[in-house]
Structure 1
Amino acid sequence: MIQRFLLSFVLFLSLPAVALAKGGVVSAADPRAAAAGQAMLRAGGTATDAAMATMIALTVVEPQSSGIGGGGFLVHSDARGQVSTIDGRETAPAAAGPRRFLGADGKPLPFVQAVAGGLSVGVPGNVRLMAAAHRRWGRLPWATLFEPAIALADGGFAATPRLVAAVGAVDRLWGDFPAITALYHPGGKPPVAGATLRNPALARLLRTIAQGGADAFYTGPVAASITTAGATAKRNPSALTAADLAGYEAKERPAVCAPYRTYRLCGMGPPSAGAMTVLQILGLLERFDMKALGPDNPISWHLIGEAMQLAYADRDKYLGDTDFVAVPLAGLLDKRYIARRALLIDPASSLPRYEAGTPPGAAPRTAAVSSEVPATTNFVTVDGQGDVVTMTSTVEGPFGSQIVTDGMVLNNELTDFSFAPEWDGAPVANRVEAGKRPLSSMAPTIVYDARGRVVLALGSAGGRRIPMHVLKTLVGVLDWGLPVADAIALPNIYFGGGALLVERGTSLAAMKPALERLGQTVVVADVGSKVNAIERTATGWRGAADPRSEGVALAE
C-alpha cells in the first residue's frame, strides 16, 4: 500500500484537475491527499475509507487549512440515495462563557488579538468524526487509512505555493510560538515553494492513533499534550481540560434537504449555516428563469446578489447550534416564506437594504456577524458501488491558533462564535457557551435527480464565502447545464462593506458598469475559492477541482 502511494506521490505534479472513471473518483485540494484517497479505493476501500485517508493526509500537506487538530462536517449518501450527516464541529470547553471574547472594557476584542493562543482553541472533532464514519461505512482496517499520511510526514513533502503564502500571511504572530516556527520556518527562514518539509512528530502522533484508535487522541498522553499546550501558551493561555477532550462526541444529525426545480439537494444542518444559506438562495432564485438568462447576463448575477444578501441576513440572525438555540429550520425553508421574500427581488433594481425576515416559528433574536476566515478545505469521494462522501474540514484561519503540539496544528475555531453575546438587549444565537459548537459556513452538498440518484456532490473552502462558491457552481450545473469543471470556474461573487464584490480578472468584473446601473455599489476584488466536486455522467463519474487551487481529481 505505501509503495503504491509513494509512486503516486512522486508523480503528483502531472495529475489532472479533472478525472473521468467508471469506478471511483477522489477530488481534493492537494494532489498528495487525493492520491491517498485513490490508494484506498484501489485497495478495495469505500468512499468513506478514501475520504478519511484524504483528510489525514491533508493534516500533513495542508496544515494551514485543515487537519485532525480541527473539525468538520461529513455528508454521506449510499448507492440507494439514503443521506446521512456527521457533525465533527469543535466544541467550546467547559470554562468558556459568553464573555470569553470581551476585553476589560466589556467590548469585543479585535480578531487579531483573540485568534492566536489558547483562547481560540476548541475541542477538535475530526478524529471522532472519522471513527464514527469508519465504524459505519468503512471496509479497510483503521490503521491502513493512516499509511499515506505517515509516509508523507516521515519522508517529507514539497511545500506548495499556497502553504508558502499562508506562512507569509501569519508568521508575524510566531514570536511566541516556537513549535510552529520550527516546523514551517526550517533553518530559521520561511520556506520557498518546492522546499521539502518533514514532520516526524506528526508521524508519531498518527501512528499512535492508528494503533490505539480515536481514544488514543482524546485520552492519555496526546490529550495531556493538547491541554498543556493551551494552558501554557504565551499568548491567551486558556483551559481546555482532559474532561473536555474525553467527553467530545461526533454527532449524527438529520440532513437538511430541499427541492430545487427537478432536483433534491441535501447538506449539513446547524451548527453549519452552509446548507440553509445555499438552499434559501436557491429557493429565492427559483421564480426566475435562470436558464434563459444564462451566465453572461448581468441580470443573472444581480439576482444572485440580491438573493445572497437576503439569505445571509436570515443566517446571521437565526442560525446557531441547535443543542443550545431554537433555530426555525422548517420556517427558514418554508415555501410560502421564501416566496414572500423572493417578491422583494426586482430584476431591474437593487434593494436599499437587506434585512432578515420573520420565518414561521422564529423567536425574537438579534443579528450578529461572526469572524470566519477564508481557509478550510473540502474533498469529495465516490466508490465503485456508488457511495458518495463530501466533507469539509478546517482548523479555521491559516494555521489555526498558531499552537502546534505533537506536530499538529490546533484550531482557532472558537473565534467563529460571535464575540458580542447580546446586541440591543437581545441574545445572539451564536454567542459563546460551554459545550456549544460555533456556527460555520461549511457547506458540503449532495444533489439528487428526480430518480433519487446522486448526480453531483461538492463543497468549498472560503470562510463566510463558502455558500456562495457552492451556490454559483450549483447554478452553473443545474440551471446553465455546464460540466462541473466549467461551473467551478465561473466567477465568484460575495458582498461586504455595503458593496457587491465581484472576482477580479473575470467576465463578472467586466459587468461592473451594468451591475452598478441596477443600483449596486460594485467592487472588483480578489474573491478566491477552492471548490472540489464529482458529478455523474453518461459514462461514469467525473471529478473536478477549482482551477484557482492546487487541487486535482483522480480516478480509481
Structure 2
Amino acid sequence: MPHPSTSPLRWGAGLAWATAVLVVPLASPAAAAAQAAAPLAVPEGASGWTPKAAVEFTRHAVATAHPLASQAGLAMLRQGGSALDAAIAAQLVLALVEPQSSGLGGGAFLLHWDGRQTQAWDGRETAPAAALPGLFLQADGQPLPFALARASGLAVGVPGVLRMLQAAHGQHGRLPWATLCQPALRLAEEGFEVSPRLHALLTQDTVLAQDPQARAYFYAPPGDAPHGSTVQPWPVGHRLRNPALAAVLRRLAAEGADALHQGPVAEDVVRRVRHHARPGGLSLADLAGYRPVLRQALCTDWGPRWRVCGFPPPSSGHLALMQLLGLLADPAQEGARAVPLQGQGAGLQPDAAWLHRYAQAARLAFADRAQHVADPDFVPAPGGDWRSLLHPDYLAQRARLMGPRDNGPARAGQPPAWPGSPTPGQAQAWAPQPEQPEYGTSHLSVIDAQGQAVALTTSIEAAFGSGLMSDGGTGLPGGFLLNNQLTDFSLQPQDAQGRPVANRVQPGKRPRSSMSPTLVFDRASGRLVATLGSPGGPAIIHYTAKALLGSLAWGLAPQAALDLPNAVHVNGAAFILEAGRLDAASRAALTARGHTVVEQALTSGVQLLLAPGPGPGRGGADARREGVVLGD
C-alpha cells in the first residue's frame, strides 16, 4: 500500500544546522510577572462525566460529539456511503443538536485518506475585504475587551464549512448530496430533545439572550419558564424544533453550498452582521467569493513505528503537536520513552517527573506557535518551509533548554533555512502574539468499509459563536449561529516597538487555529492506524497529544487513553491540570520544580478510532462530553 506522503519528515535525519539567528522574548519579565496564574479560558464549560464503554467494529465506524450525529453518520455508511458522506451528514446534524460548537455559519479543517493519499481541505473562515489590522482597536489604540469583540458583528468571518465539504464531496462522495442533508432536515422539522450538556451551556451563557432571534429559540418565554418570570433555557428533554434551519437545509439539499453563499440566506447573514450595535464589514461579495483551499498535509514520522499526518498552517495544530512529541522523544531526555503512568483504573495518571518534562516541552512549542504561525498565504514559513520547525536538529537544540526546574515563559526560536527550499527567507522579526482567549470546535472521525478515513474538526469559535443567529431570511423561529472566528486573529496587530504580529487581521486572511485533525499510519506498510482530534481551543493540541501518547506510545485501549487526566500548558504563568485527577504528592512535586499549578475542569472532546488491522477496530469517545462511537 502506498504511504500517505511521499516526502515525510523523519526524526533523526542528519543535516548540519546553524545556530538560531533570532530569539524574541514572549514578554518582558515585568509583563510575565504581572500575568496572573489564572485558569485557562476554556471554550465550553463542563457538564459532567459520562463513563463510555469500549467499542469494537470490523467494517466501519463513526465517532462524533452527539449520539444523533453518530447515528446519522452510521446510517450513511450502512447505505454504502463513504467516510466523507458520513462525516457530512453527521456535521449537518451537529449544526442542529450541538449549536454551541459548530454549524453552517462556521469553518472546518478536513483530513481525508482515500487509500492512496492524504488530503488537507481548508474550509477555515476568511476575514472580509473590509477587515483591516486595526479592526478591534478602540480610539485610544487599545484593543476591545475580548468579550465585547466576540459578541459583535466585527468578529464574524466569511463561513467556509459548506463550500469545503461540497468540494471534497465532489471527489470522494458516493451518495447524492441531497441524501446527506436528510437526517438533519428531519430532526430540524420533528425536533430533538435538549440534552443535559446543551442545557448546562445555555444556563452558563451570557450572550445569546441579547440576540432576539437566539433568545426566542433557545429560551422559554417568561410565562413558560420553569422558574417563573425570568427567562430560562428550555429544560432537559424539551423537544426543540428549528423550522428556520429546516428551510435552509431544504435549500442546501437542492442548491448545494451556494444556498448559503448567495440569495436570501446570504442577504440575511450580511444584514445581521452589519446592523449589529458593533457592526462588521461582511458583504455579499465576501460570501459569494469564498473558496476552500486544498493544501498539502504535513506528515511527520514519530518514533520507529508511526507516521502522523496533520493540518498545515493556518492551523498551528500539527506543528505544535509534533514539536511537543518530538521534544519529549529527544534522546537527551532520560526516560522520555518510558511509560510514565502510575496508579490504576480511574486513578491512572502520568507521574510528576514526566509531567514536568511535558510542561517544559509545551512551553517551547507554544513559544514558536505564538511567534511564527499564521496564514501561509500572508506569512512566510520560517526557514522557507514549515517543516523547519520540526527538524530533529532544531528540536534537539530546543530540548537543551529543558531543565530540572520550570524557568518561566520560553522564547521562540528561529530555525535556519530548510535545505533546498526555493524561498529560504530571512529571520522574521515578528512580534509574539499576546495571550488572549481561544475557543471553539467539535470533532468527528470516520472509517468506512473500504478503509477510507476522515478526521474533521469544525468550529464557530466561542460557545455559541458570536451569539448572532440568522433565520436565513425565512422569518421562522430558529436558524443557525454565526461564528466569531475573527477573534482568533491577534486583537493587537503590533507590539510597542511597531513590529507586526504574524497573525494580525488582514483582508482575505484566515485566522490561525489550533484545530488538529489527525491521521496516523504505520510507517512500514502505510496502513491506516488511527483517526482522531478534539475541540478545546489551544488545549486541542494537548488533548490530541494525550490521546496519541496513551493509545499508541503507552498501549492503552482507546477509551482508557481518553480517560487519562488532561494537562495543559500554553507558555503562560500556570500549568493547568484537570481538577481532582492528580494526587497531592504529584502536585507537590511539580510545585517543588517551580511550577505554578492551577486545577480546573478541562473539557476535552476527543473522538478516536483505531482502524481494523490484525484484529477488530476500536474506538473511544471522550467521557467529558456526550459523544459516542457507533459501528458495525
* TM-score bracket relative to the smaller structure: over 0.9
SS at match of 1:363: coil
1:285-343: per-residue Cα shift (whole Å, max 9, x none)? 11244442422221121111111111000000000001111122122112211110012
2:164–2:292: 8 Å Cα contact kept in structure 1? yes
- Where does residue 161 of structure 1 map in the other structure? 196
Q: Which amino acid aligns with 1:380?
A: S
1:102-123: per-residue Cα shift (whole Å, max 9, x none)? 0111111100111112111000
Question: Which residue, 391, 395, 402 being the options, matches 1:338?
Answer: 395
Matched, 1:399 2:445: no
Q: Which amino acid aligns with 1:280?
A: Q
2:409–2:573: 8 Å Cα contact kept in structure 1? no
Q: Which TM-score applies when normalising by structure 1?
A: 0.94
1:374–1:397: 8 Å Cα contact kept in structure 2? yes
Deviation at 1:239, TM superposition (A): 2.3
- Where does residue 357 of structure 1 map in the other structure? 413
Which has the higher mean CA deviation after the structures are superposed, 194-203 or 37-46?
A: 194-203
2:621–2:627: 8 Å Cα contact kept in structure 1? yes
Q: Which amino acid aligns with 1:168?
A: T
Alignment map for 1:393-542 (pairs within 5 Å): 393-406=458-471, 407-423=479-495, 424-450=497-523, 451-495=525-569, 497-507=572-582, 511-537=586-612, 538-542=614-618
1:76-118: per-residue Cα shift (whole Å, max 9, x none)? 11224x2111000000101100010001111111001111121
Matched, 1:313 2:367: yes
- Larger Rg over CA atoms: 2
1:461–1:529: 8 Å Cα contact kept in structure 2? yes
Inter-partner Cα distance in structure 2 for 1:173 and 1:399: 8
1:416-463: per-residue Cα shift (whole Å, max 9, x none)? 100111113211000000100111110011111122111111100111
TM-aligned CA distance change 1:152 to 1:510, over 3 Å: farther
TM-aligned CA distance change 1:243 to 1:391, over 3 Å: same
Inter-partner Cα distance in structure 2 for 1:213 and 1:261: 43
Question: Which residue, 356, 377, 393 being the options, matches 2:442?
Answer: 377
Alignment map for 1:147-186 (pairs within 5 Å): 147-170=182-205, 172-186=206-220
Deviation at 1:19, TM superposition (A): 2.4
- Where does residue 315 of structure 2 map in the other structure? 272
Inter-partner Cα distance in structure 2 for 1:72 and 1:352: 34
Q: Which amino acid aligns with 1:447?
A: V
Aligned length: 539
1:17–1:552: 8 Å Cα contact kept in structure 2? no
Alignment map for 1:136-215 (pairs within 5 Å): 136-170=171-205, 172-188=206-222, 189-215=232-258
Gaps of 5+ in 1: 1-13
Deviation at 1:232, TM superposition (A): 1.4
Inter-partner Cα distance in structure 2 for 1:16 and 1:174: 31
SS at match of 1:380: strand
1:114-154: per-residue Cα shift (whole Å, max 9, x none)? 11121110000100111011111110000010111011111
2:108–2:122: 8 Å Cα contact kept in structure 1? yes
- Where does residue 356 of structure 2 map in the other structure? 302
Q: Which amino acid aligns with 1:277?
A: A
Inter-partner Cα distance in structure 2 for 1:87 and 1:540: 32
- Where does residue 250 of structure 1 map in the other structure? 292
Deviation at 1:176, TM superposition (A): 3.7
Deviation at 1:173, TM superposition (A): 2.7
Inter-partner Cα distance in structure 2 for 1:326 and 1:230: 32
Inter-partner Cα distance in structure 1 for 2:238 and 2:408: 51
Inter-partner Cα distance in structure 2 for 1:16 and 1:478: 20
Deviation at 1:525, TM superposition (A): 1.7
- Where does residue 452 of structure 2 map in the other structure? 387
SS at match of 2:110: strand
Q: Which amino acid aligns with 1:444?
A: P
Q: Which amino acid aligns with 1:480?
A: W
Inter-partner Cα distance in structure 2 for 1:388 and 1:85: 12
Inter-partner Cα distance in structure 1 for 2:236 and 2:434: 35
2:323–2:395: 8 Å Cα contact kept in structure 1? yes
1:90–1:438: 8 Å Cα contact kept in structure 2? yes
Deviation at 1:31, TM superposition (A): 0.4
Q: Which amino acid aligns with 1:238?
A: G
Deviation at 1:20, TM superposition (A): 1.2
Q: Which amino acid aligns with 2:369?
A: R
Inter-partner Cα distance in structure 1 for 2:563 and 2:145: 34
The alignment yields a C-alpha RMSD, in angstroms, of: 1.7
Gaps of 5+ in 2: 1-49, 223-231, 343-350, 418-426, 472-478
Matched, 1:220 2:263: yes
Inter-partner Cα distance in structure 2 for 1:305 and 1:327: 25
Inter-partner Cα distance in structure 2 for 1:197 and 1:147: 17
1:174-224: per-residue Cα shift (whole Å, max 9, x none)? 454100001100334312222211101001101101101111221111111
TM-aligned CA distance change 1:370 to 1:84, over 3 Å: farther
Inter-partner Cα distance in structure 2 for 1:410 and 1:544: 30
Deviation at 1:158, TM superposition (A): 1.1
Inter-partner Cα distance in structure 1 for 2:584 and 2:315: 30
Inter-partner Cα distance in structure 1 for 2:552 and 2:363: 21
- Where does residue 129 of structure 1 map in the other structure? 164
- Where does residue 621 of structure 2 map in the other structure? 545
SS at match of 2:605: coil
Deviation at 1:386, TM superposition (A): 0.4
Q: Which amino acid aligns with 2:505?
A: V
1:290–1:480: 8 Å Cα contact kept in structure 2? no
Q: Which TM-score applies when normalising by structure 2?
A: 0.83
Inter-partner Cα distance in structure 2 for 1:487 and 1:205: 39
Q: Which amino acid aligns with 1:522?
A: V
Q: Which amino acid aligns with 2:80?
A: G
SS at match of 1:20: strand
Q: Which amino acid aligns with 2:620?
A: A
Percent identity over the alignment? 44
Inter-partner Cα distance in structure 2 for 1:381 and 1:304: 30
